[in-house]
Amino acid sequence: MLSKTIGKEIANDAERESFLKDNCDKVEAKGYMKRYTPTELQEMKEKLAELSISIHDLDEEKKLLVSDIKFRIKPLKKSAATTLASIKSKAVFVNENCFKFIDQDSKMVGYYNADGDLVDSRPLNADELQGTIFQITRQTGTDN
């Protein structure tokens, strides 16, 4: 069974990433949705509120100067839509190196980010069913 986290007990980010790199089967660039922290989510909500206020003010002025205001409001609406979509998903899509671990017992593959969080898992492919020397060493706990 794949664990939700690996290496979280290592407080130093560089040491945790080194541990994951040294113990994984392969490092692969992988895109996934990385959740926002509560602070980042609050900042985005505040940004959306500020953008919404700006849009409202410009809509009032638009009645007087339609063509000029239309030009200025377009990028703000695009930014607000992007911010709202980010808030709704409560995550941002990132593409970064992930650490692939193969669990022969559960016949599953787990991908972990540099923080040691499980970001994706899937069943083993046919070519991954045969264990590697790294997997055998991890299972037996020996270095020979």
pLDDT digits (tens, 9 = 90+) for 70-116: 788 899 999 999 899 889 988 888 899 999 999 888 999 999 999 99
Burial zone of 41 (CB within 10 Å; 0-12 exposed, 13-18 middle, 19+ buried): middle
Quick one: which of 108, 114, 133, 104 has its CA closest to 7? 114
The residue type at 23: N
Predicted TM-score (pTM) of this structure = 0.49
- Per-domain boundaries in the chain: 13-35+92-138, 38-89
